[in-house]
Structure 1
Amino acid sequence: IYYLLPLILAASSLAAFEVSRRAEGLMRLATNVARWISMFAPQLFSFLTFVAGVVLLFSGATPAENDRLEWIKEFLLLPVIEISHFIGSIVGLGLLLLARGLQRRVDGAYVLSLALLGVGIVVSLLKGFDYEEALILMLMLMLLLPSRSYFYRKSSLFARSLSPAWIVAIAVVLGCSLWLTMFSFKHIEYGKELWWQFEIFGDAPRSLRAGAGAIGVAMVLAMWRLLRPTSPEPTLPRREELDRVSPIVKGCSSSVAHLALLGDKEWLFSENGRAFVMYGIAGRSWAAMGDPVGLKEEWKELLWQFHELSDRHGGWTVFYQVDAENLPLYLDIVLSLLKLGEEARVPLTEFSLEGHANKPFRHWHRKPESEGCSFEVVAASEVARLLPRLREISDVWVEYKNTREKRFSLGYFHEPYLLRTPMALVWKDGKIIAFANIWATDDHEELSIDLMRHLPDAPAGVMDYMFIELMLYGRQQGYHWFNLGIAPLSGLDNRIAAPFWNQLGTFIFRHGEHFYNFQGLRQYKEKFRPVWTPRYLASPGGVAVLRILTDIATMIAGTDPKARQA
C-alpha cells in the first residue's frame, strides 16, 4: 500500500493535469466526432432498417422449424400464428419504405420505425419462435431508441416520392422474396386450394399469403402515388411577388440576400414563409445562391425541401458561396464541400482616414475631390428620375469593357431592381459620372454594393474614392461591416497532402491571369485591410463538380439558352 497508493495518486494527478492542459483540443475533437456521427448516423440507421425489412420478408418466405412449431402450438391458437406470419411480411415492407425516411431524417419515420421494429419482434416470436430474428430486431431497436436527436425534420412521410434507386432496391427485395418462396417450396404442387389451407405445419400457403400481401400493399401504395397530383414546376417570381421577399431580405444580416430582388431566380419558401432559397437551373444543376435567407430556425427543413425538389427532377443540389459557419447544415444533406475563395469584409468601426497607416486612404480620397468630384447617397424613392442618366453610363461602360451583363451571383442593369435600393453617386461638373446601387441590411450588420459603373473618362481612382466614401458613410450610419465581395480561388491550401481541387485552384490563381485577374482582384481588395472569410460550394462530389461549375459559370455569364428573365 505504501508504494501502490502513491503511484495511483500520482498517475491520477498526471492524467488530470494532461486532460486539463489539452481540454480545448479534446473538446474540439469531441465536437468533430459528434459532427461526424451526426452526418453518418441517419445513413447507418437507414441501412439497418432496410436490412431489418429484408430479414422479415425473407423469414416469411421460408419454412419455420417444425420442432418449434410443435412446441408453440401448445400455447398459441392457429389464427395467431397465421396472422403473425402475414403481419411480419407487411412490417418488413414497411421497414423498407421507412428506411428512406430515416435517411432524410424525418421524425415520423423514426417513430414508426421504432413501432414496426417492436411489432416485428413480437410477430417473430409468435409465428414460429424465431428468437434469432427477434434478437436481431431487438438490437436494431436498442441502437435506434437513443438516437432521437438525429431525426428532427417535421415533414410528411408521403410528401416526397421514392427515388428510382430506392424503388429498384425495394422491387429487387420483393422479387427475391418471391423467388425464395418458390425455391423453398419447389416440391409443393401449387393450386387454387393451396391459398386456403390453414394448418400448423402449412408453411407453403402461409408464405404465399404473406408474400402476396406484401406485394399487394406495395402495388396499392404505388398506385396511390401515381394518382396523386404532380408537384408544380418551379417558376420565376412575378414582379408583384417581390414585395413578399423584400421584408425578409431587408431583415437578413447578409447583404447578398438582395440578389433575390433581381427576380431572375426561382424561390422556394419554407412552410411558414419566413425563409426562402433563391436558385437557378442550368443543365442538371439546381444551384442556390448563397445560404437560405430569413429565419435561421427554418433553414434545416428548407434545405431538405430544396434537396428533395432537385432530386425529384433528376437534378444536382448545389449551394454556391455558402458561409463556413453553416457547413454542418450541408453535411447533413450529404453534400460535399469545396472552397471557392475568400470574401473580404472591412470592419467599419476601425475604418478611418486618420493616422499614418491610413495615409493611402487620404490620398485616394482627396485626389478625385481635387478634380471636382463629389459624393452623394440618394434614397431608393429618388432613383427613378436618375435612371436615364444611369442607363447611359451603364451602356457606355458595358461597351467600353467589351463585356455583357452578368447574372445569378451578380446584379445587372434591371430598372425594377435598381428602384428598390439606394444609390451611391459620384458627380463632376454637375453630371453623374459613376454610380453603384447599395445593399444595406436593416439591422446595420452589413453594407455593400452590387452594380458599379463609371464613364471611361472619369478621373483615375474614382472607384477607390467611391469605396472610401461608402465606408465612411457606413460607419457614420452605424453599420458594422462593408462587404467587398469574394476573391475567387484565393486562400486555398496548396500543401502536398491538400485535395486535388485546392492544388488546381491554387495553380489557376497563380498562373491564370490571362483568363481572369485573380491575384489582381485579391490585391485590390487587400489594400482596404479587410477580414477574409472562406466561402464554399456545397454539392455532390466526384466528377459531377466539373459539370456543376460549368453550369454555374453559364448562369453567371447569362449564356444559358433556357435562361428566363423576370
Structure 2
Amino acid sequence: MKEKLERFAIFRLLVGLSRTRAIRLLIPIAVIALVYIEGSNELKQIHIGQTIRQLRGMPRLSVLAILGTALFSVAVMSGYDFLIRHHFRLNVSRGTTFRYSWIANTFNNILGFAGLTGAGVRTLLYKRSGVPAAKMGQAVLFLSPMVITGLSVLSWFVVTGVFPAWTLFEVHPWLQIAVYGVGLYLVFFIGVQRSSLFAKWFNRDGGRIPFVTVGASLGASFLEWSFAAMTFFLITRELLGPVPFCGIIGLYVVSAVAGILSMAPGGIGAFDLTVLMGLQIMDYSSDQAMAVLVMFRLFYYVVPWLVGLLLGAFEFATGGRRKADRQPVKDPESGELFQESESVSGSAAALANRLNGALNAWQKFWRLPEQLGFLTDFGAWALGKLVLIGGFVLLLSAATPGLMHRLRFTKELLSLPVMQLSHQLTVIIGFLLILLSRGISLRVKRAYRLTSLLLWAGAVFSFTKAFDFEEAIYLLIVALMLWISRDRFYREGAPLSGRLLGFWFLTTTLIAVSYYLLGSHMLDGFIKHLPMKPRHHAAHALQPPHYYAITAAVGLVSSWLFLTVILLLRPFRHTEIGAGVEEMARLEAFLKTNKGNYLTHMYFTGDKGFYWAKGGKVLFVYAKTRDKLAVLGDPLGPRELISEAIVEFQQYADRYALSVVFYQVGPEYLSIYHDNGYRFFKLGEEALVDLDAFTLSGKKNTDLRAVNNRFEREGYAFEIAQPPHNADLLSELREVSTEWLDGKKEMGYSLGWFDEPYLQRAPLAVLRSSEGRALAFASLAPVYDGGRTMSIDLMRHRKDTPNGTMDWMFIRLLQGCKEQGYARFNLGNAPLASVGQSKSAMREERLASLVFRYGGHWYGFQGLRRYKGKFSPDWEPRFLAYPVTVSLPILTVDLVRLVNRKMKGSR
C-alpha cells in the first residue's frame, strides 16, 4: 500500500509541474474550438475573394481616419498606467509611462490570456525604470479588477435598451445572461471597493481606495471600451454603408462580453462569431461581416501591436540601465572620460552630433546614441517578429490581386515580364525573410546582413510588382530599425539540428500551400465580383490560378536552395569538434603544473572540445548537445582566475547562441558558479575511500574478508598492468568487454569506453581464473593531483564469473593503490544518492528522490549506493550547474542524449 501511495505521489508531482500552465492554455483553446464548431454554418458562407475586394476598395482617406481613431483608442488605455503611476507614486516620466502602456496593452490585446500577458510585460518594463517587481505586482493586482468596469457600464446601456441587441438575444439567450452578468459586476465593484477586504487584497493594506481614484479608474476603462466601440462603428459604416449607431455599438458590447468570458487572446473566436451572427441577423452578408472583422482586427489589434513591437525593440535597445551598470565612456576626439547619464550632454552630445543628421530627432527622443547598443533579448525577439511579419506581408501581397488602377499604372511604366519577375522575386524574398527571422531573434550577424539586403530588395519589388507602396514602406521601416540596432548583431552562428530544420521546412511548406490556396481560390471570386471586367492589358497582370502553384513551388525551392548554400558557406563551427593530437599534448603539459580532478582522465577520450581561457591558464572541456555546451567537471586552473574565465567562456558560447552548463561539479566552486548566475541540481554523491583507514579487519568487514579468503584459496590471480599494454592483452580484454556489452552500445562523455589509444594512457587491473583466463578487468583513471588519488573508470566482466568477483577486484585495487602510496581511491558516482530528502528541497529534487527509491526496475540506484557503501567511503556531493534561462527537464534530456551518443572508436 505504501509503495502505491509513493507511486501516486510521483504522478501527482509530475502533473503538478505543468498543470497550471496547461490549464491556462487549454481553456481558451477549448473555447475557440467550441465557438467555431457552433458557428461552422456562418463560416462556410464566407467568400474570401469578395471580402478582399471590399477591403482593397476602401478610400485612402477613410483608411487614415479609421487608423487614427484606432490608434487613439489604444492611446487612451494609457490612463491605466497614469493611474497606477499617481496612486503608487512611481518615479517614471510621463513619456516613459505612455510608452510602457502602449507596449503592454498592445501585447495584451494580441496575446491576452485573461490579462496575464499585459501584467507580465508591464512588470518587465517598469522594472527597467527601477520599480521593484513586488511593487509592480501590487500595482497590477490593484489595476486588474478595474479594467472591465467600463465594459460593465456599457453593458447597462445594452440592458436598458439604449444600445439594443434584443434580436441577437432572441437567437442566443445565453448572450443576454452574459451581458447581465458583466453589468452586475459594476454593482459588485462599487459595493466592495471601499471595503477593508478590498483594500487588503487589491490595495495591499494601503487603506481604502479614494473616491477620486475609483472615479478615475472607471473613467479610464469607460474611455477604452467606448473608443474601441467607436472604431468598430466607423469600420462598419465604411464597409456596410449607413448603419444604426446604437445597434452597432450594442453588437460590439455583446461581442466584447463574449470575448472577455472566453479568456482567449483578443477574444478571438467568441467575439468574431458573435459579430458574424449579429451582422447577419441585421441582413448583412457573411462576406461583409468578415470584412468588418478583418478590418477591426487589423486596425485595432495588429497595427497597434506592430507599433508596440517597434517601441518595444527601441525600449530595450535604449532604455533604463541602472546607474551602477553604467561605465565611463571615452570621447573619441579629446580622449576624456565622462560618465553616461540620462541626457546626452557635453562630449556625449558631441558624439551624438556626429551620427547621421536625419536621425537626430529620433535619437534625442530615444536618448540615443548613449544606449544605442543595449538591445536585449526582448528587443531582438521583437525585431525577429517584425521580419517574420514582413515575410508574411510579402506573401500575402503576392497572393492577393492588385488594385486595377495600380496595375494599369505599373503596366504603363514597366513591361509585363518585369512585373511577373518582380512577383516571383517577392515570393522568394517572403520565404527567405520567414526563414531568417529566427536568425534575427538570435542576433546572428550574417542573418542581419542578408535580411537587410532582402528588405530593401523586397521594397523595390513591391513597387515594380503592382505599386504596393504600403508593403514597401513597412519593409523600409524594418530595415531602418535593423540598421539602427546593427551593433547588437554580433553572433557568428546559431545551433542547427535536424529537428529544427525539419520544423522550418514543414512550416514553409504549409505556408506555400496556403499561399497557393489563397491566391488561386481568391482570384475567381475577386474578378467575379468586380463591377466590370478589367481591360485586356490589365487582365494580363492578373495571373491564372495555376500560376500561384508554380510561384509557390519556385519560391519554396529557391529560398531553401539559397539558404542551404549560405549554411554550407558559414564560418567553421569550432564548437562542434573534439580535441586533436596537439590539444592532447597541450593538456599533458598543462597537467604537469596544474591540479586535475576526478574527471580529468576522461578528457583524453578525444570526443570533447577544449577551450583555453585567460591566455591558456584555465581549461574548459566540453561537448555540444543541441543548443548547449556541457562542461565536464570543474574548470582546471588557478582558483582566482575561474570566475573571469567562466565569463569569457560564456561570451564565447554566446557568439554561437549557446548556453554553458557544468556537469558533475564539486562543492569547491559552487559560490563562483552562483555569482555567475547559475542554479544547481544535485546529481548524486561520489564515493571516496580513505586508503590509510581501509582494512579488512573488524566485524563490519567480515563479508569482504570472506570474499578475499575464498578467491585466494581457489587460486584466482590479480594484477595491475602498467602501460604501454601489449596487443595480446588488449585483444583478450576486448573479448571480455564485448561479452559484457552483449550488443549494447558504449556510453561516453562522462565515461570512458573501450578505445585502445585511450586505454594505453593508464594502468589496467585484470582478474584471472586459476587457469589464467581473463574474467574481469578495470581501467584506472589518475586524478592528476600529485599521486594522491586514483579513480576507477571501465569495469567489465564475463557472464560466467563467480559471485563476489567485483568485490575481490575492488579489495585488491584498494590494497594495491594503498601499497603504491595513494591516499584516496574514487569508487565513482552513486546517481541521485541523498537527493531531495528534505521537505524543503526543490520539487525536481524531490521527484528525483522518488526515482532513486522506486526506480530500481530501470536502474539500481539504491543497490549501487549500498554496494559502494560496503567499502566505508566518504561521500562527496556532485552537482549540475545551469543558467536560470535553461529548462531543467529539457537539459536533462539533452544530457542523457549526450551520454548515450555513439562514441568514436566504439563498436
Q: TM-score, normalised by structure 2?
A: 0.39
Conserved? CA contact 2:129–2:320, under 8 Å: no
Which residues of structure 2 form unaligned runs of 5+?
1-124, 131-314, 350-372, 385-480, 493-569
- Match of 2:705, as an amino acid? R
- 1:223–1:360 distance in 2 versus 1, CA, 3 Å: closer
Q: Deviations over 1:107-143 (max 9, x none)?
A: xx85659986646499759999xxxxxxxxxxxxxxx
- TM alignment of 1:68-467, pairs within 5 A: 112=329, 118=339, 120=341, 164-165=377-378, 221=487, 233-234=574-575, 235-249=577-591, 251-399=594-742, 403-428=744-769, 429-442=771-784, 443-467=786-810
Conserved? CA contact 1:423–1:436, under 8 Å: yes
Conserved? CA contact 1:435–1:453, under 8 Å: yes
- Match of 2:648, as an amino acid? Q
Q: Deviations over 1:510-562 (max 9, x none)?
A: 11111111110111111111111111111134771111100111111126xxx
In structure 2, the residue corresponding to 1:264 is in which secondary structure?
Answer: coil
- 1:122–1:313 distance in 2 versus 1, CA, 3 Å: closer
- TM alignment of 1:55-70, pairs within 5 A: none
More helix, by proportion:
2
Aligned to 1:482: 825
Conserved? CA contact 2:375–2:485, under 8 Å: no
CA distance in 2, matches of 1:225, 1:316: 13
Conserved? CA contact 2:329–2:337, under 8 Å: yes
- TM alignment of 1:31-42, pairs within 5 A: none
Aligned to 1:181: none
- Match of 1:233, as an amino acid? H
CA distance in 1, matches of 2:814, 2:689: 8
Conserved? CA contact 2:673–2:881, under 8 Å: yes
In structure 2, the residue corresponding to 1:243 is in which secondary structure?
Answer: helix
CA distance in 1, matches of 2:623, 2:323: 27
Aligned to 1:211: none
In structure 2, the residue corresponding to 1:491 is in which secondary structure?
Answer: coil
In structure 2, the residue corresponding to 1:533 is in which secondary structure?
Answer: strand
CA distance in 1, matches of 2:861, 2:833: 8
CA distance in 1, matches of 2:853, 2:905: 36
Give the Å deviation of 1:406.
Answer: 0.7
- Match of 2:794, as an amino acid? L
Conserved? CA contact 1:390–1:435, under 8 Å: yes
In structure 2, the residue corresponding to 1:507 is in which secondary structure?
Answer: helix
Q: Deviations over 1:67-90 (max 9, x none)?
A: xxxxxxxxxxxxxxxxxxxxxxxx
- Match of 2:882, as an amino acid? S
Give the Å deviation of 1:410.
Answer: 0.8
Conserved? CA contact 2:690–2:874, under 8 Å: yes
Give the Å deviation of 1:298.
Answer: 3.2
Aligned to 1:150: none
CA distance in 2, matches of 1:315, 1:475: 44
CA distance in 2, matches of 1:100, 1:113: 19
- Match of 1:416, as an amino acid? P
More strand, by proportion:
1
Q: Deviations over 1:475-512 (max 9, x none)?
A: 22222211111111110233333220121011111111
Matched, 1:554 2:904: no
Aligned to 1:41: none
In structure 2, the residue corresponding to 1:452 is in which secondary structure?
Answer: strand
Conserved? CA contact 2:687–2:829, under 8 Å: yes
- 1:502–1:230 distance in 2 versus 1, CA, 3 Å: same
CA distance in 2, matches of 1:170, 1:332: 31
- Match of 2:662, as an amino acid? F
Aligned to 1:544: 887
Conserved? CA contact 2:383–2:482, under 8 Å: no
Conserved? CA contact 2:491–2:655, under 8 Å: no
- Match of 2:779, as an amino acid? N
- Match of 2:647, as an amino acid? W
Aligned to 2:509: none
In structure 1, the residue corresponding to 2:724 is in which secondary structure?
Answer: helix
In structure 1, the residue corresponding to 2:801 is in which secondary structure?
Answer: coil
Conserved? CA contact 1:383–1:419, under 8 Å: no
- Match of 2:791, as an amino acid? S
- Match of 1:411, as an amino acid? G
Give the Å deviation of 1:380.
Answer: 1.6
- 1:224–1:338 distance in 2 versus 1, CA, 3 Å: closer
Matched, 1:495 2:843: no
Conserved? CA contact 1:49–1:96, under 8 Å: no
- Match of 1:327, as an amino acid? L
CA distance in 1, matches of 2:482, 2:744: 61
Largest Rg, 1 or 2 = 2
- 1:260–1:120 distance in 2 versus 1, CA, 3 Å: same
Q: Alpha carbon RMSD of aligned pairs, Å? A: 4.2
CA distance in 1, matches of 2:605, 2:374: 32
Aligned to 1:535: 878
Give the Å deviation of 1:239.
Answer: 3.3
Conserved? CA contact 1:249–1:258, under 8 Å: no
In structure 2, the residue corresponding to 1:457 is in which secondary structure?
Answer: coil
Matched, 1:526 2:526: no
- 1:166–1:265 distance in 2 versus 1, CA, 3 Å: farther
Aligned to 2:50: none
Which residues of structure 1 form unaligned runs of 5+?
1-46, 53-92, 104-108, 129-159, 172-214
- 1:396–1:317 distance in 2 versus 1, CA, 3 Å: same
Q: Deviations over 1:211-259 (max 9, x none)?
A: xxxx999678569999xx9685222122343222134356534231111
Give the Å deviation of 1:420.
Answer: 1.0
Give the Å deviation of 1:473.
Answer: 1.6
CA distance in 1, matches of 2:691, 2:807: 16
Give the Å deviation of 1:329.
Answer: 1.7
CA distance in 2, matches of 1:99, 1:517: 51
CA distance in 2, matches of 1:373, 1:338: 43
- What is the aligned-residue identity percentage? 33
